[in-house]
């Protein structure tokens, strides 16, 4: 009898806790006071764009469908190739669009004789999808699969020689995609997200515990619950100076986004990704990759600890190639660091395509 009484109290306590948390989530979703100031990007020094088209090839605006939504992309083709050519399929990182510097990578590859398909994920850039500024990992994985299928459908492209290119968050996507598609010829993962848990630790390091908890259990939870209730999304800034409330309140991120983003770029993101990011672990897919894989790692990027990189390299064995650069995560996109990284990528693609 005493045991039953104790169990009943425990049950009531658990029910009370569950009810209290449900009420908390509802309150977070609907009460006012969560508005975050917008963060305009600085007037950074835009890198000089490479000349599109000309004697090396041309760029075609293309569209293809995934789950009833149209994705927008640029297809770069060499001028009058003698036969079907290899193609590199690429997309940008967290919240970024193809207009943020992918053109310079693609033109380098095009000049070397490759076709390139650079596309925007659903909800971002010129692709369709509602709500806008949503980053949702399963959707982005489906988008890569749709882009690969589109590239294979083009007569100008050799469907047996499709390579994948990704950076940061999309660097994790291309690893997962190649693990599920053994017809992929090779993969380049630039500063890849290998484990979202490491990204969460980076957020704690850069923002501090209080701000990280506020972002996760305030703003991210608000956006997630609002999505369940069919309410408009709750967005927060994507990149901002240190001390701001943003997904990446980091000097390097803010400098890179200010330098690379076009004037019409929306520097915001649906906050719910902060609850899901730490569950994403692309490193677990590495063992399933059967093609050559280039990992380009920045040694000062605390989101990619050496032990994690060494684990990925060990899983790849002879299929893997790791190149380390003595810089931080966002330094690789511009200037001499860009030139070095893209030349390493060209050597890798020439070897395997």
Instruction: Write down the pLDDT at residue 8.
Output: 64
> What is the rounded distance in angstroms from the CA atom of residue 19 to the CA atom of residue 9?
15
Instruction: Count how many domains the chain has.
Output: 1
pTM for the structure as a whole: 0.91
Query: Tokens standing for 91?
Result: 């997309």
Pick from 41, 167, 185: nearest CA to 115: 185
**Residue 193 belongs to some domain of the structure:** yes
Residue 134 buriedness (CB in 10 A; 0-12 / 13-18 / 19+): buried
Query: Tokens standing for 228?
Result: 């369940």
DSSP code for 238: S
Q: Which domain holds residue 304?
A: 60-197+275-352
pLDDT tens digit at each of 353 positions of the chain: 665 566 565 655 666 566 665 665 666 666 676 788 888 997 654 544 555 444 568 899 999 999 999 999 999 999 877 789 999 999 999 999 999 999 999 999 999 999 999 999 999 999 999 999 999 999 999 999 999 999 999 999 999 999 999 999 999 999 999 999 999 999 999 999 999 888 777 777 777 778 888 888 899 999 999 999 999 999 999 999 998 999 999 899 999 999 999 999 999 999 999 998 889 999 999 999 999 999 999 999 988 888 899 999 999 999 999 999 999 999 999 999 999 999 999 999 999 99
> What is the rounded distance in angstroms from the CA atom of residue 157 to the CA atom of residue 178?
18
Q: Enumerate residues 6+ apart whose C-beta is below 8 A from 17.
A: none
> What is the rounded distance in angstroms from the CA atom of residue 63 to the CA atom of residue 70?
6
**Residue 330 belongs to some domain of the structure:** yes
Instruction: Write down the pLDDT at residue 305.
Output: 86
**Residue 301 belongs to some domain of the structure:** yes
Long-range Cβ contacts of 52-56 (<8 Å, 24+ apart):
52/103, 52/107, 55/79, 56/107, 56/110, 56/111
> What is the rounded distance in angstroms from the CA atom of residue 184 to the CA atom of residue 349?
12
**Residue 205 belongs to some domain of the structure:** no
**Residue 346 belongs to some domain of the structure:** yes
Q: Please name every residue paired with 331 in a beta bridge, in sequence order, or none if there are none.
A: none
Q: Please name every residue paired with 119 in a beta bridge, in sequence order, or none if there are none.
A: 73
**Residue 288 belongs to some domain of the structure:** yes
CATH code of 117's domain: 3.40.50.1820
Instruction: Write down the pLDDT at residue 126.
Output: 98
Instruction: Write down the pLDDT at residue 302.
Output: 81
Reported as type and span, the H/E element at residue 152 is helix 137-153
Instruction: Write down the pLDDT at residue 52.
Output: 47
Residue for token pair 């999304």: 233
Task: Give the distance from CA 204 to its chain's centroid.
Answer: 20
3-state secondary structure 302-324: CCCCHHHHHHHHHHHHHHEEEEE
**Residue 227 belongs to some domain of the structure:** no
Reported as type and span, the H/E element at residue 115 is strand 115-119
Pick from 352, 351, 349: nearest CA to 114: 349
> What is the rounded distance in angstroms from the CA atom of residue 217 to the CA atom of residue 333?
32
**Residue 3 belongs to some domain of the structure:** no
Instruction: Write down the pLDDT at residue 99.
Output: 97
């Amino acid at each position: 009898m005493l045991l039953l009484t104790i169990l009943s109290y425990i049950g009531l306590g658990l029910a009370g806790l569950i009810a209290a948390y449900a009420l908390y989530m509802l309150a977070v979703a609907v009460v006012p006071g969560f508005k975050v100031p917008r963060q305009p990007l600085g007037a950074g020094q835009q890198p000089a764009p490479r000349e599109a088209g000309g004697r090396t090839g041309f760029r075609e605006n293309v569209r293809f469908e995934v789950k009833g939504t149209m994705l927008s992309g640029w297809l770069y083709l060499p001028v009058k190739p003698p036969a079907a050519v290899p193609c590199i399929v690429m997309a940008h990182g967290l919240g970024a669009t193809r207009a943020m510097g992918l053109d310079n990578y693609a033109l380098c590859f095009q000049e070397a004789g490759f076709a390139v398909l650079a596309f925007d994920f659903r909800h971002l850039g010129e692709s369709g999808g509602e709500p806008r500024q949503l980053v949702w990992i399963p959707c982005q994985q489906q988008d890569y699969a749709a882009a690969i299928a589109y590239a294979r459908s083009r007569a100008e492209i050799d469907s047996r020689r499709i390579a994948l290119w990704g950076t940061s968050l999309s660097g994790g996507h291309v690893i997962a995609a190649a693990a599920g598609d053994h017809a992929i010829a090779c993969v380049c993962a630039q500063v890849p997200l290998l484990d979202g848990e490491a990204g969460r630790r980076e957020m704690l390091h850069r923002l501090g515990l209080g701000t990280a908890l506020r972002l996760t259990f305030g703003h991210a939870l608000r956006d997630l619950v609002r999505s369940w209730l069919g309410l408009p999304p709750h967005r927060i800034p994507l990149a901002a100076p240190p001390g701001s409330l943003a997904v990446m309140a980091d000097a390097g991120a803010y400098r890179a986004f200010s330098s690379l983003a076009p004037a019409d770029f929306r520097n915001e993101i649906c906050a719910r990704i902060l609850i899901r990011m730490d569950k994403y672990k692309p490193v677990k897919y590495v063992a399933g990759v059967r093609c050559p894989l280039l990992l380009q790692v920045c040694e000062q990027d605390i989101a990619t600890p050496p032990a994690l990189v060494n684990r990925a390299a060990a899983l790849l064995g002879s299929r893997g190639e790791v190149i380390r650069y003595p810089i931080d995560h966002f330094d690789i996109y511009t200037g001499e660091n860009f030139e070095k990284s893209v030349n390493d990528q060209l050597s890798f693609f020439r070897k395997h395509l």
